[in-house]
Amino acid sequence: MTMRSRLFPARLVYPVVACCALQLGVAHAAINEFKVKDIRVEGLRRTEAGTVFSYLPVRVGDTFNDEVAVKAIRSLYATGFFDDVKISAKDDVLIVTVVERPAIASVDFNGTKEFDKDTLKNALKGIGISESKIFDRSLLDKAEQELKKQYLARGKYGAQVQTEVKPLPRNRVAITFNVEEGETASIKQLKIIGAKTFKTQDLLDEFQLGTHTWTSWYTKNDQYSRQKLSGDLERLRSFYLNRGYADFSIENTQVQISPNKQDVYITISIKEGDKFKFGKVQLSGDMLDRQKELESLLTIKPGETFNGEQLSDSTKAIQDDLGNYGYAFANANVIPDIDRDTHEVNINIVVDPGKRVYVRRMNIGGNTRTKDEVIRREFRQFESAWYDARKIQLSKERVDKLDYFKDVKVDTQPVPGTSDQVDVNFEVEEKPTGNLLLGAGISSTDALILSAAIQQQNLFGTGKTVGLELNTSKVNRTISFNETDPYFTIDGVSRSFNIYDRQTDASQLNLGNYKIGTTGAGVSFGFPITEYERLSFGTSYEGTNLSVDATSPARYQNYVQQFGNSTYAILLNAGYQLDTRDSAIAPTRGHLRRLSADLATPLGQQEFLKTTYQEQVYFPLSKKYTLALNGEITSGFGFGGKPYPIFRNVYAGGIGSVRGYRASSLGPVDADGVPTGGAKRLIGNAEFYFPLPGLKKDRTFRAFTFLDAGNVYQSNEKISLGQLRYSTGFGISWTSPVGPLKFSLGFPLNTKPTDDIQRIQFTIGTGF
């Protein structure tokens, strides 16, 4: 028995296929129904035959008829694997003949400058266009629209996309998207209608978007983005809510684009409403017998101006506090009652702690290189313990501070089938931790600096750090090797050792014609006291060589005559550090305290004690402004009948101490007027940071004003505040790709005739 060689071509629309099947069924199929003895699939190249069988609604031994044929064609065509499907039969053998759709061999882009190709490829993956996937021509329109959408987000409204599909051998295709990006549309007008209480410019200062300014090349603030506008509208809403306008609303937002698609006009209509105060403030719900503790977390008080941010902070503080006791999914829901007659907002915060839960697993993902134990030893939340939000946040901070990862994300998921267990999932994204750095820098003190460094912060994923550094300038030349094991013991005791050779040419600093060479090696151990405090102890050897001639300062010639050109010291080192800063490079809050002591023991030729104490405090005056205070005092003296070594003297003046005075120029001078430095130093700095006009909240590029004070004193002098030199001025701080950069213009306030003034100073890589 033989059926038609082509019963139902799949390219027919389904209703037509069904109709044809019924007509043919009357003529033949109703008479020629048969039991399937075997099924054969023809035309396959990539697709497995088993895949086809899994979609067929018929098996060997089943009765085949027109209705089954329609179902089979529909099912196979719906897979998206095939361009055509034909079904025929011969001697009760069902023959399925398919024409496979081609596979995508490559996806490429021409003319793309705004995006890197990987970003665009990832955008197309979501709609089914990517390498190795089955090619579906109907998706090309969606792909083009998706690419245009990406460009619209960058303000390129004139972007055009054309697609080229090139057939390749073995039933494959290469897809190329040819893009004409066009010019970026810029915001020509940003207008707010309805503002009565506040100046329009004050409101626009809250926006990321804006019209073109001199900093637009850096901030891109004049490039329209729907996402940025949404964020700006939220900031505008918060601005009013935080100042008492509880009825504030945004009535309408219009975005118009010029016919040439180059200019954008934004108009925002608002309704301010009346100003409100907080009325009654109360907590209700299940407070777990901790009502007084939760009430103490409220920062809102009756009679105060309504403030949405304070209200949000209060509810978050309650939720976080409950999270510290195991209530991972606690809620503090605000129920406001607006009384427009009295202009008060009564607040009822309903507390719902939910069920107390404990952590079943602490999972780690994304670490393709770093060993699990390197991450896990930073955890402060333990498995099988009650959920503690503080410990989880602290764990995240500690993992982030390792500086091995681009990003660290934490997600808490309920365990299926239970109501009192959660899994805490840490997802990290590795970043390169091995660096080969070749660079050049310049400062007003050291002039040209050439540097090279090889450093691996996470050797073989173990968390150990090794490094080799070369640094050269007219003043200082250094070569050093260091190794640090942050977990030399399992309880967090670190071990570090280093070997170094330093050469200093004092003539380049106008300190006299002499050179100091220092070679040393040391080992130290660090002991954690708390999460933010550490003690360190170590020992080191340091040999010093003084090169002098007849033109060198007399004090150096005398030292060489008394002790020789070369001396050495056996040092004991001790230190303490407290660091709660939110950033080591551009901090805005927190505290840094350092105390160190170097004792040269009688085992060497030098005998002295040098101590340094430093305090830094950062006060966030607002989201834009930061006040930073720094104080440092250093004192050294010799013992055992030996003087304090003159080559260990400290200096002041310049960036890092007192700006406006030439580097290392303050303090005592010799008979030739050359600064000698001293065994004691007192430094004080105050800096007020604020955003540059047009850069707003960019922490990497900030301006500052400063007030400095400081001086150095000889070992036999008492520190006298009356001898302090003062200066003030302003500058710019930039976290550049090559390190923190500071530029300052200083104005000394109480100069003496012997002082050496240098108003403009700059450097890369220093703090205060």
Adjacency order of strands within the sheet including 82-90: 38-42, 93-100, 82-90
* Whether pLDDT at 19 is above 60: no
Instruction: Return the amino acid letter for 701.
Output: F
- Residue carrying the six token digits 């260091």: 482
> What is the rounded distance in angstroms from the CA atom of residue 506 to the CA atom of residue 504?
6
Alpha helices by DSSP H, 512-594: 554-563
Residue 702's pLDDT band, with cuts at 50, 70 and 90, is confident
Q: Is residue 471 part of a domain?
A: yes
In a domain, 416, yes or no: yes
Residue matched to tokens 């599909």? 165
Instruction: Round to whole Å and give the CA distance between 173 and 632.
Output: 68
Judge whether 120 lies within some domain: yes
Q: CB within 8 A of 40, min separation 6: which ones?
A: 93, 94, 95, 96
On whether both 172 and 193 belong to a single domain, the answer is no
* 459 plus 328 within the same structural domain: no
Tell me the pLDDT tens digit for each residue of 354-378.
999 999 999 999 888 889 999 999 9
What pLDDT is recorded for position 491? 86
Quick: pLDDT tens for 640-683.
Answer: 888 899 889 999 998 889 999 988 899 888 777 778 889 999 99
Lookup result for tokens 């850096």: 218
Boundary (domain end) residue, out of 352, 380, 410 = 352
Higher per-residue pLDDT: 258 or 18: 258
**Average pLDDT of span 681-689:** 96
- Measuring CA to CA, which residue among 131, 163, 133, 132 is closest to residue 146? 163
Instruction: List residues bridging with 683 in a β-sheet.
Output: 632, 710
| Structure token digits, residue 436 | 């080969």
Contacts of 173 (CB under 8 A, 6+ apart): 102, 103, 104, 105, 135, 165, 166, 167
Mean pLDDT, range 98-113, rounded to an integer: 89
Is the same domain home to 152 and 199? Answer: no
Residue 12 — pLDDT band, cuts 50, 70, 90? very low
Residue 197: inside a domain, yes or no? yes
Please state, in angstroms and rounded to a whole number, the distance separating the CA atoms of residues 493 and 487.
6
CA 294/CA 319 separation, integer angstroms = 10
Q: Comparing C-alpha atoms, which of 650, 750, 670 is closest to residue 707?
A: 750
pLDDT level of residue 331 (50, 70, 90 thresholds): very high
Indicate whether 613 belongs to any domain: yes
The predicted pLDDT at position 13 comes to: 34
Instruction: Please answer whether residues 660 and 727 qualify as being in contact, where contact means their C-beta atoms are separated by less than 8 angstroms.
Output: yes
pLDDT band (50, 70, 90) for residue 448: very low
Please check whether residue 3 lies inside any domain of the structure.
no
Within-domain flag for 4? no
Higher pLDDT, 396 or 51: 396
Pairing of strands 344-352, 277-285: parallel
Q: How far apart are the first and last CA of the chain?
A: 95
Q: Which of 53, 85, 100 is the last residue of a domain?
A: 100
Q: Identify the pLDDT of residue 356.
A: 93
Residue 9 lies in a domain: no
> Last residue of a domain, which of 248, 271, 294?
271
Kindly report which listed range (75-84, 447-456, 751-760) carries the lowest average pLDDT score: 447-456
Per-residue pLDDT at 24 exceeds 90: no
Q: Minimum mean pLDDT among 220-234, 286-300, 440-454, 602-616: which range?
A: 440-454
Q: What is the pLDDT of residue 284?
A: 94
Residues facing 106 on adjacent strands: 174
Own/partner contacts of 544-551, CB < 8 Å, gap of 24 or more, are 544/516, 544/517, 544/518, 544/568, 544/569, 544/606, 544/645, 544/647, 545/516, 545/517, 545/518, 545/519, 546/514, 546/515, 546/516, 546/647, 547/514, 547/515, 547/516, 547/517, 548/513, 548/514, 549/513, 551/513
pLDDT of residue 472: 65
Six-digit token string for 743: 């530029």
Same domain, yes or no: 559 and 474: yes
CATH of the domain at 166: 3.10.20.310
Sequence-distant (6+) residues with CB within 8 A of 530 are none
- DSSP 8-state class, residue 685: E
In the predicted model, is pLDDT for residue 455 greater than 80? no
89 and 233 share a domain? no
Residues 121 and 190 grouped into a single domain:
no
* pTM for the structure as a whole: 0.61
Q: Are residues 348 and 373 in the same domain?
A: no
**Tokens matching residue 520:** 């040393």
Query: Average of pLDDT values for 117-131?
Result: 86
Q: What's the CA gap between 117 and 639, in Å, rounded?
A: 67
- pLDDT above 70 for 766: no
- What integer best gives the mean pLDDT of the chain? 85
Please list, in sequence order, all residues whose beta carbon lies within 8 angstroms of the beta carbon of residue 766, skipping any fewer than 6 positions away.
655, 656, 740, 742
CA distances from 613 to 65, 597, 635 (A): 93, 9, 9
Residues 6+ apart with CB under 8 A from 624: 690, 691, 696, 697
pLDDT for position 323? 92
Supply the pLDDT for residue 442. 44
Query: In this structure, are 190 and 170 located in the same domain?
Result: no
Average pLDDT value for residue range 255-279: 92
Tens-place pLDDT, residues 607-640 = 999 999 999 999 999 878 899 999 999 999 999 8
Q: Where are the beta strands (DSSP E) in 624-679?
A: 626-638, 660-661
Region of poorest pLDDT, from 283-292, 406-415, 728-737? 728-737
* Residue 473 scores a pLDDT above 80: no
125 and 214 assigned to the same domain: no
Query: Alpha helix locations (H) across 275-384?
Result: 291-295, 308-323, 372-376
Integer Cα distance of 52 and 64 in angstroms:
17
Domain count, the chain: 6
| pLDDT of 510 | 62
Q: How, if at all, do strands 680-691 and 701-713 pair?
A: antiparallel
Q: Are residues 600 and 464 in the same domain?
A: yes
Task: Say what percent of the chain tops pLDDT 70.
Answer: 89
Checking if the pLDDT of 445 tops 50, the result is no
Give the Cα separation of 395 and 534 in Å (integer): 18
pLDDT of residue 192: 95
Residue 81 pLDDT > 70: yes
**Per-residue pLDDT, 699:** 65
Residues 480 and 346 in one domain: no
Split at pLDDT 50, 70, 90, the class of 736 is low
Residue 21 has pLDDT above 70, yes or no: no
**Bridge partners, 702 (sequence order):** 691, 733
542 vs 664, more confident: 542
String of DSSP letters for 307-332: -HHHHHHHHHHHHHHHHTTT-TT-EE
Same-domain status, 197 and 141: no
Contact indicator for 574, 597 with CB cutoff of 8 Å: yes
Q: Are strands 476-485 and 680-691 parallel, antiparallel or unpaired?
A: unpaired
Confidence of residue 68 (pLDDT cuts 50, 70, 90): confident
Query: Which domain range does residue 237 map to?
Result: 186-271
